[in-house]
Amino acid sequence: MQTSPAPSTASLMPVAQRPDVVFVRGEGAYLFDSRGRRYLDWVQGWAVNCLGHAPAAVARALATQAETLINPSPAFYNGPSIELADLLTRHSCFDHVFFGSSGAEANEGAIKLARKWGRLHKEGAFEIITFANGFHGRTLATMSASGKPGWDSLFAPQVPGFPKAVLNDLDSVRRLINGNTVAIMLEPVQGEAGVIPASPEFMAGLRSLCDRHGLLLILDEVQTGCGRTGTLFAYEQYGIEPDIMTLGKGLGGGIPLSALLAKESCSCFAPGDQGGTYCGNPLVCAAGVAVINSLLADGFLEASRDAGQQLADGLKAVSEEFALGEVRGKGLLLALELGRELGPEIVSRARDAGLLLNAPRPHCLRFMPALNTTPAEIQEGIQVLRRIVREVLDGTAVSSSGPVAP
């Protein structure tokens, strides 16, 4: 009998540089590879697994919903999408929700909504002021809205209408406002740029600029939303209310689900303006309901704030011990500035030692553990990080013990 050869990675488009590891199982804070090695995961699917790997609440919701109703089509109402929209509007300043499958799709929706509103109320104004080093996704419009170096020419021509200001520089925003401006769009904490928070004064300044000029304030909370920064949404910590907000990543706890939320005053889509085959299907919305209810459970966000403080303190101690740079961020979205381009080497050595990290820029590390991580897990991760930083700075070989077997 003929057996087919084992499938190889050669059939996948090489869109990312991936290490030679295949993950087969996840449980809470840990991932397991095909050789049975265990890794403490501080990437968590790129900050999507807010409840950790394979959380029981999401697994149960998916299993029950999969046996009940997966997709009646976006042309019909379904229970879980109604329930999730109700949860989100009751716990935010928004009135209406549109569901998508990715952060980029939610941001596309936000851009379209702002342009429609500009057509209705501002004589066709369409420009959305965005920010250098911002990140909003990988579709053509969201790449154009992003300020990632090099992206302006990668798939040229860009989608027009996204002038770039500088984060935390109100004058740079003011200078870009003209008769074509309809909105200002930003991440409360620039994630991919290396975890750079907007300052409270800057955010307040943007809100009053928007009020003065009749512009919409759009917050991309794809990364900062759903408890990541210690409150359900990051805008709550700024004492302002945006007009439009987008969610993704944590919203589905690892399941592809995103949302566009708007206040009634700018929620101007009419039937036919926006949609998508998978939008708001009950399977993913059931996962979203399980996630939001978990985040809202008594003491959950408080415990995640404590975990964030413990992690920040641990990172500060490492930084002091090895004379590295600042620790910044909010909640469990933190970064350690290295002061030199050691990020990729630390990430690679930490992985060999059983700790998964991310270096969004070569000079810094980003930390995004599950929001329900325990004090013992944080201590474990900090210990591994300390050892690896010392090894890298000493230029010594990585310990050969490798990741811990379960």
Ligand X SMILES: *Cc1c(COP(=O)(O)O)cnc(C)c1O
Q: Is 135 a catalytic site residue?
A: yes
With respect to ligand X, which residue has the nearer C-beta, 31 or 189?
A: 189
Q: Beta strand 327-330 with 258-262: parallel, antiparallel or unpaired?
A: unpaired
**Cβ-based burial of 153 (10 A; exposed 0-12, middle 13-18, buried ≥19):** exposed
Residue 303 tokens read as 């415990």
Q: Which stretch binds ligand X (CB under 6 A): 3-11, 50-58, 218-226, 396-404?
A: 218-226
Asked whether position 222 contacts ligand X by CB under 6 A, the answer is: yes
Pattern 166-205, binding to ligand X, x per CB under 6 A? ---------------------x---x--------------
Q: Which of 220, 330, 352, 367 is catalytic?
A: 220
Asked whether position 220 contacts ligand X by CB under 6 A, the answer is: yes
Do residues 331 and 228 lie in contact, with contact meaning Cβ atoms separated by under 8 Å? yes
Between CA 305 and CA 310, with CA 307 as vertex, the angle to 5 degrees is 110
Of all residues in this chain, which one has the CB nearest to ligand X in the complex? Answer: 103
Q: Beta strand 333-337 with 364-367: parallel, antiparallel or unpaired?
A: antiparallel
Q: Which of 135, 162, 233, 367 is catalytic?
A: 135
Do residues 292 and 51 lie in contact, with contact meaning Cβ atoms separated by under 8 Å? no
With respect to ligand X, which residue has the nearer C-beta, 125 or 203?
A: 203
Number of residues that this document lists for the chain: 406
Answer positive or negative: Cα dihedral of 89, 92, 97, 103: negative
Shortest distance (Å) from residue 124 CB to ligand X = 26
Do residues 403 and 39 lie in contact, with contact meaning Cβ atoms separated by under 8 Å? yes
Residue 138 tokens read as 């990988």
Pattern 107-146, binding to ligand X, x per CB under 6 A? x---------------------------xxx---------
Q: Is 249 a catalytic site residue?
A: yes
Asked whether position 102 contacts ligand X by CB under 6 A, the answer is: yes
Asked whether position 248 contacts ligand X by CB under 6 A, the answer is: yes
Q: How many CB atoms lie within 10 A of CB 403?
A: 22
Shortest distance (Å) from residue 196 CB to ligand X = 12
Applying CB under 6 A, which residues contact ligand X?
102-104, 107, 135-137, 187, 191, 220, 222-223, 248-249
